[in-house]
Structure 1
Amino acid sequence: MSDEQATHTTGFGERVRANQQKLTAELKPHYDFIVCGSGSSGSVVARRLAENADVSVLLLEAGGSDDVPAVMDASNWATNLGSERDWGFKAQPNSALHGRALSMSMGKVLGGGSSINVMYWVRGHKNDWNYFADEAGDAAWNYESVLNIYRRIEDWQGEPDPKYRGTGGLVYVRPSLPTSPIGPAIYEGARSAGIPSFENLNGRMMEGDGGCSLIERRIRDGRRLSVFRSYVFPYMDRPNLTVLTEAMVTRLTVEGKRATGVEVAHDGKVLRIGAGLEIVLSLGAINTPKVLMQSGIGNQAELQRLGIPLVRHLPGVGENFQDHPLLLGCVWEHQQPEAVAQKEQAMVFWKSDPSLDTPDMLCPMGEGLFVSPETAQFNPPENSWTFIPGIVRPKSRGHIRLTGPSPLDPVELTANHLGVPDDLKAMVRCVEFCREIANSAALRPFVKREVIPGGMKGKSLEAFVRDCVVTYWHQACTAKMGRDSMSVVDGKLNVYGIDNLRIADGSIMPRVTTGNTMAPCVVIGERAAEMLKISHRI
């Protein structure tokens, strides 16, 4: 029996419950490490630190248990949106979206985003990681280094590809095989548009101009494999790892230049817990800058405006916000009259402009209807199939501000989707690109008519994009890694000017990666853990 299979036994679950009940009932005033947030980076950091039995680790999560059908059954993912497992952030009304205010979901549950997302595993492009290394001035972030991490942690279930894929690691990844004739037809249609096919999404395809491939997901037998379940849960029967839920980190305690602990809202009380070695913030690209600012770390003028005493002037905190806009979706009516069940078939990455160095269009394709409230108004028929065009190299930048000094005061999120005209142009091109594939000879047997957007062109297509674009919820980049005056962390993820404090989550990305962000966040967690182990010789 594998370690992962062993954690599914009743006996193991009971050991975890008894152990965590004891550990949380007897919370200590100090731990060696406090990891704030149990998402795709924080879970990795907590597990890797807890592998050393001599080290005490406290993992704090504002949300509750993930042991509910809405999380465990991967097909139920959408039912988590707007639930108690969603932070429920909302962006400011955006004139580029005709005044719409987009919902900005983030996971508030053990596992964070990896417990409520669609589980796509996309590593990021070679150029992303080399850009990270250049910004950090550290080759350990480059593509070759990161490729070694991916190979080490993966348990790849597709065709063997030892140069790019690993087996036997903690991260089970499987390709979604086409289940109908439309899957191979997508490949053929892409090929006719000059787009090559690849043996897997995360190998050679992530080094070049893009291509068409199978979708890869972290799902086994219909069951979600969150990063928390893969990394943390197997260690929760150990005495040195305490996982405290319903525990919202509100502030850091800082003495001089040293972060000494955290303030946590839990069970109607404020707990103050010390960290002997380090604190790691893994709260995501909205809450990480929020907690930094509430702790006096941020733009001096902003903090003064709210009466928050300055601890460290870091003007980049909350700036550089980036996200991936998408359309849900572009829909064609199928030739067959029967309703079509939802099932992904393929993924296409390509460039909206040949002069770009990295693909900027991400287009998953699936049988069935994939629509948002905005596109559902077109009343698409049940016998449909869908392209879901998105852009993954946006030029628009937003920011996050506090509205008051209290942890209960909401943040003001200016997401600024399509705020730069080039992003609108790329999004329109992405719709046209999906059309080109849908209109190819290979797909003719599957197309009765284009339903959404229904043949629009020019200004009407631009208006459609502004009316209907939503978000992938890939919020990132608000505490970026780098060496300029707007950087918040260095290449070792240390917060500038504050000792014993690191950030490990999507907020440290200098730019958002090319594709879904869960896999890069796992790598960020692995890199943080490596550096913590070296720094403290553990």
Structure 2
Amino acid sequence: MNIPAGTLGLIANPRYDWMYSFDANDQAGHRDIFCPRGRVLGGSSAINGSIYIRGARSDYDRWASLGNTGWGYRDVLPYFTRHENFEGDSSPWHGVGGELNVTRLRSPHRVSNAFVAAALEAGHRFNDDFNGATQAGFGHYHVTQRHGERMSSSRSFLHPVLSRPNLTIVTDALVERILFQNRTATGIEFVHDRVKHVFNARREIVLSAGTIGSPQLLMLSGIGPAQHLSDLGIRTVHALPGVGYNLHDHQDILMAFDSPRSDLFGLSIRALPWLAASPFSYYLDRKGPWTSNTVEAGGFFKSSASQIEPDLQLIIRPLLGNQPKSRIPRGHGFSVHISLMRPASRGRLLLRSADPADKPLLQSNFLSGGDDARRLSLGIAEVRRIVSMPAMSAFRGDEIEPGKHRQSEDALSDYVHSHVATTFHPVGTCKMGTDAMAVVNPDLRVCGIDGLRVADASIMPAITSGNTNAPSIMIGEKCAALILG
């Protein structure tokens, strides 16, 4: 699990992945959309692409403008730098000496370098640090690695303190509900080895089950929309209508290109020599293809001049990403993900039943709001322009997806609606705020409940720009500070 390229064998593997899906909707081709979530210590940070992106300054200032005092960019930056150990030049934007190692890729693939060069040829600016002064531009992503190994939140923060006497870890356990006395959280009930157990809280409980697990557990415990709970026979402890609402994600469109180059990740007879040499490069020198997170480079840009700030993110992969059932794709090519940073579409999470073992219903409502589909179509056009630049000529083959036959506005719109997916960044189902639909207040306390906080991506009132692992860790860091006062 610590080999970065090993993410290809972790996602869609039931041993490590909860294997959730967004349910089909009219705007997204009437099909279920895969939504992986980590089923291991460290959660999704143990199976993700290890990209370290904090988001734009305006993301957090927007949170603060919604009434979330203490969550503006200047407020949260110290919590990012506090736990960071940045392996790079000294910078006011980065910290040194923290638990989480942030660095650059050791052996980025040549196609990633070429893609960045092509973006510059297309007129985009170079950005050497997406977590610095500005997010706009193209370059290589920082990653949560150390010595060529994945550094999940578990390896970074938990493993070094396993010997602490005040820490107990129980794995392979299913938390079924939070226990209450009136409106005060007093403990949790969970099943381990088919036996029910109770842990009682002396002061308070912090719920960090993620965007899917946290609202699910609140509702199973009687905290949520009263009618929904009543319909399932769950006694309402406290009616909180916002639980499960505001579900959203970076909607994603994948483009795939064939390539004549056999050094791109994939299975073929021509690739056997470098595939055979890869383990030796990794174990002897911690370099080579195995150190790749397979999502190495890209950038942020505006879909149109009318946008105030970048609203699309591109991520290039040195492999064909249109073969979801293959751990390692057959044949050679590269893929580009187009991710929508500020989606208007909002969905909802609902319980299917009162059984904690039942996966909840995830209604994505992708492409149902604003001009989400149009902006993704504009992203396709920009990728085509970048890939057509001279810097990509050695890697460029035929466009497999969407394909050259899809050129008109209607054809691209049809492709977007029939192929939209998720960038695996669901957020928002326990929204932080001060309005009637808020689930937690700016201190991350569950509204109307004593002794219970939520600290994970579910509290985001609006999704951050870019990969959500770094902001989620920051939320945990800030929660710890709030608890300590």
The 5 Å alignment of 1:424-503 reads: 424-455=373-404, 456-457=406-407, 458-503=409-454
For structure 2, list consecutive stretches of 5 or more residues without a partner in the other structure.
Answer: 267-293
Q: CA deviation at 1:124?
A: 1.1
**Alpha-carbon separation, structure 2, partners of 1:281 and 1:168:** 28
Q: CA deviation at 1:133?
A: 1.8
Match of 1:263 in 2: 189
Aligned amino acid, residue 508 of structure 1: I
**Alpha-carbon separation, structure 2, partners of 1:182 and 1:245:** 40
Q: CA deviation at 1:177?
A: 5.8
1:523 alignment partner, one of 464, 474, 482: 474
Match of 1:186 in 2: 115
Deviations 1:37-84 (A, max 9, x none): xxxxxxxxxxxxxxxxxxxxxxxxxxxxxxxxxx22222213222312
Match of 1:8 in 2: none
Of the structure 1 ranges 408-417 and 122-131, higher mean CA displacement relative to structure 2 is found in: 408-417
**Alpha-carbon separation, structure 1, partners of 2:472 and 2:414:** 34
User: Per the alignment, do residues 475 and 85 of structure 1 end up closer, same or farther by CA in structure 2, a change over 3 Å counting?
Assistant: same
**What secondary structure, in the 3-state scheme, does the structure 2 residue paired with 1:168 have?**
coil
**Alpha-carbon separation, structure 2, partners of 1:179 and 1:74:** 12
Aligned amino acid, residue 295 of structure 1: S
Q: CA deviation at 1:402?
A: 1.2
Q: CA deviation at 1:445?
A: 4.3
**Alpha-carbon separation, structure 1, partners of 2:108 and 2:360:** 44
Match of 2:281 in 1: none
**Alpha-carbon separation, structure 1, partners of 2:83 and 2:459:** 21
Match of 1:200 in 2: 129
- TM-score normalised by length of structure 2: 0.88
Deviations 1:93-147 (A, max 9, x none): 1221211101221111111101111111110111111112222431x21111222
The 5 Å alignment of 1:367-378 reads: 367-373=318-324
User: Per the alignment, do residues 240 and 373 of structure 1 end up closer, same or farther by CA in structure 2, a change over 3 Å counting?
Assistant: closer
User: Per the alignment, do residues 267 and 445 of structure 1 end up closer, same or farther by CA in structure 2, a change over 3 Å counting?
Assistant: closer
Deviations 1:218-263 (A, max 9, x none): 1234422110111011111121111111121111111112111111
**What secondary structure, in the 3-state scheme, does the structure 2 residue paired with 1:244 have?**
coil
Match of 1:225 in 2: 151
Aligned residues between the structures = 453
1:423 alignment partner, one of 348, 360, 372: 372
Q: CA deviation at 1:192?
A: 3.4
- Residues 256, 333 of structure 2: 8 Å contact kept: yes
Of the structure 1 ranges 487-496 and 301-310, higher mean CA displacement relative to structure 2 is found in: 301-310
Match of 1:148 in 2: 78
**What secondary structure, in the 3-state scheme, does the structure 2 residue paired with 1:108 have?**
coil
Give yes or no for the alignment of 1:272 onto 2:202: no
Match of 1:295 in 2: 221
Of the structure 1 ranges 488-497 and 217-226, higher mean CA displacement relative to structure 2 is found in: 217-226
**What secondary structure, in the 3-state scheme, does the structure 2 residue paired with 1:436 have?**
helix
- Residues 319, 399 of structure 1: 8 Å contact kept: yes
More helix, by proportion: 1
**What secondary structure, in the 3-state scheme, does the structure 1 residue paired with 2:101 have?**
strand
User: Per the alignment, do residues 339 and 184 of structure 1 end up closer, same or farther by CA in structure 2, a change over 3 Å counting?
Assistant: closer
- Residues 178, 345 of structure 1: 8 Å contact kept: no
User: Per the alignment, do residues 453 and 308 of structure 1 end up closer, same or farther by CA in structure 2, a change over 3 Å counting?
Assistant: same
Aligned amino acid, residue 132 of structure 1: W
Match of 2:17 in 1: 86
Give yes or no for the alignment of 1:333 onto 2:262: no
- Residues 89, 105 of structure 1: 8 Å contact kept: yes
**Alpha-carbon separation, structure 2, partners of 1:533 and 1:516:** 28
The 5 Å alignment of 1:30-49 reads: none
Deviations 1:257-298 (A, max 9, x none): 211111111111111211010100100111111111111111
User: Per the alignment, do residues 373 and 245 of structure 1 end up closer, same or farther by CA in structure 2, a change over 3 Å counting?
Assistant: closer
Match of 2:35 in 1: 104
Cα RMSD (Å): 2.1
Match of 1:58 in 2: none
**Alpha-carbon separation, structure 2, partners of 1:281 and 1:213:** 36
User: Per the alignment, do residues 273 and 186 of structure 1 end up closer, same or farther by CA in structure 2, a change over 3 Å counting?
Assistant: same
The 5 Å alignment of 1:238-387 reads: 238-327=164-253, 329-334=254-259, 336-341=260-265, 344-373=295-324, 382-387=331-336
Deviations 1:426-484 (A, max 9, x none): 11111111111111243334424333222212222222222322212111100100011
Q: CA deviation at 1:205?
A: 2.5
Aligned amino acid, residue 464 of structure 1: Y
Aligned amino acid, residue 199 of structure 2: I
Q: CA deviation at 1:355?
A: 2.4
- Residues 211, 348 of structure 1: 8 Å contact kept: yes
Match of 2:3 in 1: 73
**Alpha-carbon separation, structure 1, partners of 2:17 and 2:220:** 22
1:175 alignment partner, one of 100, 104, 121: 104
Same amino acid, percent of matched pairs? 33
Q: CA deviation at 1:409?
A: 3.4
**Alpha-carbon separation, structure 2, partners of 1:399 and 1:383:** 38
Q: CA deviation at 1:182?
A: 4.2
Match of 2:289 in 1: none
**Alpha-carbon separation, structure 2, partners of 1:181 and 1:405:** 51
Match of 1:117 in 2: 48
**What secondary structure, in the 3-state scheme, does the structure 2 residue paired with 1:205 have?**
coil
**What secondary structure, in the 3-state scheme, does the structure 2 residue paired with 1:91 have?**
strand
- Residues 333, 381 of structure 1: 8 Å contact kept: no
User: Per the alignment, do residues 392 and 224 of structure 1 end up closer, same or farther by CA in structure 2, a change over 3 Å counting?
Assistant: same
